Amino acid sequence: MVSRRTRRQLETALIYIALITITVATIFPVYWTFVTAFKDPRDAFTYPPKYLPYIQFKPSLFAWRDVGLIKDPTQRGTHDPASILNTLRNSVVIAIGSTIVSVVLGSLAAYGLARFEFRRWKNKDIAFFILSQRMLPPIVLVIPYFILYNRLGLMDTWHGMIIAHTVANLPFVVWIMRGFFRGIPKELEESARIDGCSHFQAFRKIVLPLSLPGLAATSAFTTVFSWNELLFAITLTFKRAQTFPTLVAGLTHGSAALWWDISAMLLLAILPVFIFITLFQRYIVAGLTLGALK
Amino acid sequence: MSSSALQMRTAWSRVIAWLGRVFSDRYAKYYMVVPTVLYLLLIGIFPLIFSFGLSFLHWDVAAQRPLSFAGLANYAELVGDDRFWRTFANTIIFVTGAITLEVIFGFGLALLLNRDIRGQGIFRVLLMLPMMATPVAVGYTWRMLYHVTNGPINHILRALHLPVGTWLSSGKTSLLSVIITDVWQWTPFVFIILLAGLQSLPREPFEAAAVDGASRLQSFIYLTLPMIWPILVIVILLRMVEAIKIFDIIFVMTAGGPGISTESSTMYAKLVSLTQFRLGYGAAIAYLLLVLSAIVFIILTRVLPTEVGIE
């Protein structure tokens, strides 16, 4: 007869094994990209595959020189570093631009909906109208954008992309920030109002500073959404304003895949995402469920 | 002071007084909400109407046919378009297959691990990486993993003396492989939410049930399931809204192939309208997809708590 204590310990061990197994399964693909980015072409994509650096293969910066991010006069890169840097810059500008527009417009609207009562159209209806804009399949918008952008000269421009990404980011900001503002006690603003503050002043001086953590997390979310987005970017940009994911997505069509180079670029793509997760992990579930679950 | 200057001044003060009234604090709420609503009407709703109109037009840029009214011709063509129905089936299979597996695995793991675990924070951070990772990166990574001859998945299967898979290289397994990638990406999401949900359930009912001699299965069916149900429904609907849009990961992994075995309706609509430049027909396809997600969204609005709830 196994004692109760041993049974308990066995159960705990099993649970940890299960937890570690799913974590390894989750992390392995990311790990694989990571090691591939530090392989020589001879070590990448061979059979049997090489898993362990230093033991099975010697880590190399070949890929980083090949994409031109590490300068080396002895190795002529396959890729043009100027175009990579250009797309990285475009992605950053578009992501930050869209975040600024969405957060400024969106947090005001969220505050309006959280604190005031609208009569003709009820608050709930306005909020759901705003949210519905995020739920649309983007292809319904991409086709008319393609036509209109061509006419209006917005094709392949930063502001064109910022306008497009804001349509998805703005509803997100409104929905999430509305939840944050509701959590702030009304009394603070009321006493500020008595002291002679206007609604805008109360918002700026009392509410905004209090909701700064939420605002930061929401901004980080919209930045990552925009950074990751592909469908709008691939349709509405091609050269000057081309985004980084669009560049990477086009790398293998037609030519043989240089997996070590691609892996290096994939690491660049997920680096901001990784920083975001470590900084804001508390908010991620709330963000992805639109504040319904925390 | 001349009289005209005086008139100017009174005119000015009238303008300022008018501005003061218009921009008065009383209307502050409108100044807060109206810009966002206008933005979404102009950049969201207007293109939507434009696109609806487009779906009733023949507008084939490549064929250089003059623009003409099509009536319901595009929708009629849609009914008989086998390729469209194949992509529609692909989308539905992808959505239902992926979400079913995610719920089974995510819920199962949450039930298994619903107890005090040390170092939970670290696991949570690691598990969050897939759901936020750049889709292009996810697609390429899985293409490497699935590679039939040199990929690590087949290598591991071979090492375990299991049959190897054809994965993305065959039309028979490609859609399943795409589903597996989505399951990898989103199971942690379902798991984290349901685990948090389970841990927030009150203990008393379970203790009372145990005292009354309820079995584990009984307390699961009569207590856990009804209490966790609202969370489960929200998670499923949110996943559905996102999964119906699927484009980026498949685009990178297979570009819809082999053949059209993994082509989603979004990809087909994009091909028709932006590669073949049949804008009217592409808009009709997109609209059918819109109807599908609108149904899911309407159900979602019924269950989504307007108050930020469930902690």
- What string of DSSP letters covers A54-100? TTTB----HHHHHTTSS--TTS--SS-HHHHHHHHHHHHHHHHHHHH
pLDDT at position B106 is 92
Token digits of residue A181: 């503002």
Helix and strand numbers (H, E) in chain A are 13, 0
- Smallest Cβ–Cβ distance between A278 and the set B125, B270, B308 belongs to B125
Q: Kindly state whether residues A105 and A54 are assigned to the same domain.
A: no
Q: Kindly state whether residues A160 and A267 are assigned to the same domain.
A: yes
Residue A73 lies in a domain: no
Number of A/B CB contacts below 8 angstroms equals 293
In B200-224, where does DSSP find H-type helix? Answer: 204-211, 216-219
Q: Kindly state whether residues A283 and A219 are assigned to the same domain.
A: yes
pLDDT at position B91 is 94
CA distance B47 to B54: 10
CA distance B133 to A275: 11
pLDDT at position A255 is 53
Our count of domains for chain A comes to 2
User: Which residues of B are less than 8 Å from A184 in CB distance?
Assistant: none
The shortest C-alpha distance from A283 to chain B (Å) reads 11
- Smallest Cβ–Cβ distance between A112 and the set B33, B150, B290 belongs to B33
CA distance B260 to B262: 6
Token digits of residue B107: 């819920």
3-state helix, strand, coil in chain B (%, to 5): 75, 0, 25
pLDDT at position A147 is 92
Which residue in chain A is spatially nearest to B238 when comparing CA positions? A289
Residue A71 lies in a domain: no
Q: CATH code at A193?
A: 1.10.3720.10
pLDDT at position A50 is 84
Which residue in chain A is spatially nearest to B228 when comparing CA positions? A293
Low-confidence ranges of chain A (pLDDT < 70): 1-2, 75-76, 253-256, 292-294
Residue A171 lies in a domain: yes
pLDDT digits (tens, 9 = 90+) for A18-52: 888 888 989 999 999 999 989 888 888 787 888 88
Q: Do B151 and A30 touch (CB under 8 A)?
A: no
- Smallest Cβ–Cβ distance between B293 and the set A112, A136, A285 belongs to A136
Q: Any residues with CB less than 8 A from the CB of B299 and at least 6 apart, and which? A: B237
- Smallest Cβ–Cβ distance between B131 and the set A145, A253, A288 belongs to A288
Which residue in chain A is spatially nearest to B187 when comparing CA positions? A26
Interface of B with A in 12-31 (CB under 8 A): 25, 28-31
Q: Kindly state whether residues A41 and A146 are assigned to the same domain.
A: no
Residue A107 lies in a domain: yes
Residue A254 lies in a domain: yes
pLDDT at position A66 is 82
Q: Kindly state whether residues A91 and A59 are assigned to the same domain.
A: no
ipTM of the complex: 0.88
- Smallest Cβ–Cβ distance between A32 and the set B43, B141, B149 belongs to B141
pLDDT at position B124 is 80
Question: pLDDT tens digits for chain B (311 residues)?
Answer: 567 777 877 888 888 878 777 777 778 888 888 999 999 999 999 999 999 999 998 888 877 777 888 888 889 999 999 999 999 999 999 999 999 999 999 998 888 888 777 777 788 888 888 988 999 999 999 998 998 888 899 999 999 988 888 898 888 899 999 999 999 999 988 998 888 888 888 888 888 888 888 888 888 888 888 888 888 888 888 899 889 999 999 999 998 878 899 999 999 999 999 988 899 999 999 999 999 888 888 887 777 665 433 33
pLDDT at position B307 is 43
User: Which residues of B are less than 8 Å from A274 in CB distance?
Assistant: 129
Q: Kindly state whether residues A155 and A183 are assigned to the same domain.
A: yes
The shortest C-alpha distance from A76 to chain B (Å) reads 25
Q: Do A135 and B241 touch (CB under 8 A)?
A: yes
Q: Do A109 and B269 touch (CB under 8 A)?
A: no
Residue A93 lies in a domain: yes
A94 contacts A161 by C-beta, under 8 angstroms: yes
pLDDT at position A253 is 57
CA distance A21 to A14: 10
Per DSSP (E only), the strands in A66-222 are none
Q: Kindly state whether residues A159 and A52 are assigned to the same domain.
A: no
Amino acid at B28: A
Q: Give the bridge partners for A95, in sequence order.
A: none
Q: Kindly state whether residues A159 and A283 are assigned to the same domain.
A: yes
User: Which residues of A are less than 8 Å from B193 in CB distance?
Assistant: 285, 289, 293
Last residue of a domain, one of A39, A66, A93: A66
SS3 of residue B307 by DSSP: coil
Which residue in chain B is spatially nearest to A106 when comparing CA positions? B36
Domain membership of residue A95 as a residue range: 85-288
Within 13 Å, how many C-alpha atoms sit on residue A14's CB side? 10
B60 contacts B278 by C-beta, under 8 angstroms: yes
CA distance B235 to A19: 22
Q: Kindly state whether residues A46 and A151 are assigned to the same domain.
A: no
> Hunting for tokens 């293998």 — which residue is that?
A252
Interface of B with A in 283-302 (CB under 8 A): 283, 286-287, 289-290, 293-294, 296-297, 300-301
Q: Do A109 and B150 touch (CB under 8 A)?
A: no
Choices 1.20.1260.10, 3.30.499.10, 3.30.360.10, 1.10.3720.10: CATH for B84-303: 1.10.3720.10
Q: Kindly state whether residues A133 and A233 are assigned to the same domain.
A: yes
